[in-house]
Amino acid sequence: MESLLKKELNTSTLKTTGHAGGGCISEGQTYETDHGRVFVKINHKNEARKMFDGELASLDAILKTNTVKVPKPIKVIDVSPGGAAFVMEHLDMRSLHRHSAKLGEQLADLHLHNLRLKQTLQKGEQTVGQGPGQSQLQHTDKFGFHTVTCCGFIPQVNDWHSDWVAFFTQHRIQHQLDLIEKDYGDQQARELWSELQLRIPELFQDVEVVPALLHGDLWGGNVAENEAGPIIFDPASFYGHSEFELAIAGMFGGFSGSFYSAYHKVIPKAPGFDKRLKFYQLFHYLNHWNHFGTGYRGSSLGVMRSLLK
């Protein structure tokens, strides 16, 4: 592995620093190189290349918005006998605490970036340059992403769609339920979903959804800070409804009141927010059921039942 990394990173120095960071999905390790410190995630699953290509594309897109700090992606490398390694900039991080409110503001700026690009285009202005070597993000009026991204290790269908409700229903909820059907053939899930589908339009009757670039997996374990401000990492980006981002944030803790008030100062809650948030959380419960097994069945079915009330 070391000789492969030396060759791929074009470095004669490659020293571990003792900083290791394993998540639920991959093994992580920081190395000193001729070009500075890098953080390398390694995963030996067959799907690792796809997963890391999606993470690289996500970090690249967020970086280009210049709104919230992410590690700079460097490259994805195939490793033998199977799997891949993802090399990115190493960032010293500590738990998010002092910069919670700043993360709220910056996340709202990330979510508004695509809309602001449109407003700039409408004014006929040139878009502002973002530094050498960084091409601009283009405005999109569709939902999706140019490549597959993985929330966990399950690939998400990101095919472009002009209708958010259709995109989310088919590519997110239905996709997860198809995997559950395949592995568990759960009759209750099937029945609840057939009832719930009829109720989806009413969840969206009071809101206009515009495509926003999302981190896509913003749970408490994927946010941190350094002296200068907040950091987010391990994204599974796509253009979607900004409210979707807050769904997983609310499921496992890690975000204080100051984060939410700063966010909603910029993007206020639209009517029907709370019920839609539950619908968006359903995706994450189902995704957890598919990743970690039936421990998440009860919560998945519970959310479906509460949405039917």
Ligand X SMILES: Nc1ncnc2c1ncn2[C@@H]1O[C@H](COP(=O)(O)OP(=O)(O)OP(=O)(O)O)[C@@H](O)[C@H]1O
Of 20-28, 166-174, 237-245, 253-261: span binding ligand X (CB under 6 A) = 20-28
The token pair that represents 190 in the structure block: 């099937």
Cβ atoms of residues 181 and 290 within 8 Å: no
Half-sphere exposure of residue 77: CA atoms within 13 angstroms, side-chain side: 21
Taking the least distance from each CB to ligand X, the nearer of 167 and 238 is 238
Binding residues among 36-65 for ligand X as defined by CB under 6 A: 39, 41
The least distance separating ligand X from the CB of residue 37, rounded to whole angstroms, comes to 8
Q: How far apart are the first and last CA of the chain?
A: 54
154 touching ligand X, by CB under 6 A:
no
The least distance separating ligand X from the CB of residue 51, rounded to whole angstroms, comes to 8
Cβ atoms of residues 44 and 79 within 8 Å: yes
Give CA separation, 141 vs 106, 114, 117, 145, 164, in Å: 22, 9, 11, 11, 11
Annotated catalytic residue, options 109, 141, 206, 217: 217
90 touching ligand X, by CB under 6 A:
yes
**Distance between CA atoms of 160 and 37, rounded to whole angstroms?**
36
Q: Which of 5, 9, 28, 73 binds ligand X (CB under 6 A)?
A: 28
The least distance separating ligand X from the CB of residue 231, rounded to whole angstroms, comes to 8
CA 96, 99, 101, 105 torsion-angle sign: negative
The least distance separating ligand X from the CB of residue 217, rounded to whole angstroms, comes to 7
Of 87-95, 138-146, 196-204, 207-215: span binding ligand X (CB under 6 A) = 87-95
Cβ atoms of residues 266 and 259 within 8 Å: no
Q: Which of 222, 242, 281, 300 binds ligand X (CB under 6 A)?
A: 222
Helical residues (DSSP H) of the chain, grouped into ranges = 2-9, 48-65, 100-122, 164-167, 175-184, 187-203, 242-249, 257-266, 273-292, 297-308
Cβ atoms of residues 169 and 197 within 8 Å: yes
Distance of CA 238 to the CA centre of its chain: 8
The 8-class DSSP code of residue 58 comes to H
**Distance between CA atoms of 221 and 57, rounded to whole angstroms?**
20
Coil, strand or helix at 106: helix
Give CA separation, 52 vs 43, 129, 154, 168, in Å: 9, 28, 12, 23
Active site residue 217: yes
Contacts with ligand X by CB under 6 A: the residue count is 19
The least distance separating ligand X from the CB of residue 57, rounded to whole angstroms, comes to 15
Of 4-12, 89-97, 193-201, 270-278: span binding ligand X (CB under 6 A) = 89-97
Q: Which of 31, 143, 168, 233 binds ligand X (CB under 6 A)?
A: 233
Of 23-31, 191-199, 239-247, 287-295: span binding ligand X (CB under 6 A) = 23-31
Of 2-10, 57-65, 82-90, 154-162: span binding ligand X (CB under 6 A) = 82-90
234 touching ligand X, by CB under 6 A:
yes
Taking the least distance from each CB to ligand X, the nearer of 161 and 284 is 284
Q: Which of 23, 155, 220, 250 binds ligand X (CB under 6 A)?
A: 23
251 touching ligand X, by CB under 6 A:
no
The least distance separating ligand X from the CB of residue 305, rounded to whole angstroms, comes to 28
Please give the residue ranges that form the binding site for ligand X (CB under 6 A): 21, 23-26, 28, 30, 39, 41, 71, 88-91, 93, 221-222, 233-234
The catalytic residues are 217
